[in-house]
Amino acid sequence: MNEHIRGIIVPILTPMNEDESINEAALRQQIDRMIVGGVHGIFPFGTNGEGYILSESEKEEVLAICIDQVAGRVPVFAGTGLIATRDTIRLSRKAADLGADVLSIITPSFAAASQEELYAHYRAVAESVDKPILLYNIPARTGNALTPATVERLSRIPNIVGVKDSSGNFDNILQYIERTRDNDFIVLSGNDSLILWTLLAGGKGGIAGCANVFPRNMVAIYECFIAGDIVGARKAQDAIRPFRNCFRFGNPNTVVKTAVALQGYLVGKCRKPFDYLPDEGIAAIKQVLADLARQGVC
């Protein structure tokens, strides 16, 4: 599986009906749209998939739909990290039983954890499931950061195969790569603006929220890079800057989901209370979508 954890993996959004229940038909449509767009993996209930606000039963529902609809075309990643170690083990085992290919495990949140506690948490989970595990570092959301030294230690555990870094700190990504280079360890950017630079530094790609809006363009960053077309990769990387500038208007997850809805897909809004954008934000997204469409960015 290690060789398949690469490229552009989409943290696919979770379409919802007006009553905030899961919209299965729309989810299946988005999965097919992403795969046709060339993505290299589908990652349900990540941050862009609103995993933070879905119940465990809803996560199981979404994962089962994704596995069924993907039908082996690309790997399916399941975000199974919860606050408690025993709860993370339970959900990870359930995801493995359902057929997830890779488990993405976010750091515990709310309570401050020492590096030794984080190491013990991930080691216990890894010893409890027979699936590849991707660490997920996003300290701005969880309050806990995986240091490069801890990632180096964890990389020696056989089924901990990689890390997604959403810290926004490129030096942190560099240190992850430098410290794990001898362990066949996979480093992915969780910040869409750093995908090309991560690839240039020796990383394997990115888990890209913007792929929900522009799948072909995001895939082009990776495919052009692999083909040696750095100019093309840079063009695709730079193309998303105007859209990312819209993140100033609200939660990035809400901006992404609003943009997909404005493209004509019935994905609904984010679950309350994280569903508000000001009128000026919606107008800005519409303008950016129109401008990028004229440039052929899709």
The domains of the chain are located at 2-238
- Angle between helix 252-262 and helix 279-294 axes, rounded to 10 deg: 60
pLDDT of 182: 87
Contact 47, 138 (CB under 8 A): yes
2-238 to CATH, choices 3.40.50.720, 3.20.20.70, 3.20.20.140, 1.10.220.110:
3.20.20.70
Catalytic residue (choose from 164, 204, 222, 257): 164
Helix H or strand E encompassing 152: helix 148-154
pTM for the model stands at 0.95
Structure tokens at 149: 């030294």
Average pLDDT, the chain: 97
Structure tokens at 196: 């090309």
Concerning whether 164 is annotated as a catalytic residue, the answer is yes
Contact 165, 137 (CB under 8 A): yes
The pLDDT of 178-193, averaged and rounded, is 94
Residue-wise pLDDT for 16-61, tens only, equals: 999 999 999 999 999 999 999 999 999 999 999 999 999 999 999 9
The pLDDT of 153-158, averaged and rounded, is 96
Instruction: Give me the torsion for CA of 80, 86, 172, 38, rounded to 10°.
Output: -10
The pLDDT of 5-20, averaged and rounded, is 97
Q: How far is CA 171 from CA 92, 105, 147, 191, 195, in A?
A: 30, 22, 11, 13, 13
Structure tokens at 14: 């979770």
The CA-to-CA distance between both ends of the chain, in Å, stands at 29
Instruction: Give me the torsion for CA of 63, 223, 73, 50, rounded to 10°.
Output: 10
The residue length of the chain stands at 298
Structure tokens at 62: 């979404």
Contact 63, 95 (CB under 8 A): yes
Lowest mean pLDDT among 25-29, 181-185, 215-219, 255-259: 181-185
Q: Give residue 183's pLDDT band: very low, low, confident or very high (50, 70, 90).
A: confident
Question: Do the bridges between strand 41-42 and strand 205-207 make them parallel or antiparallel, or are there none, so unpaired?
Answer: unpaired
The pLDDT of 51-72, averaged and rounded, is 96
Contact 165, 139 (CB under 8 A): no
Q: Give residue 1's pLDDT band: very low, low, confident or very high (50, 70, 90).
A: low
Catalytic residue (choose from 59, 122, 131, 136): 136
Concerning whether 136 is annotated as a catalytic residue, the answer is yes
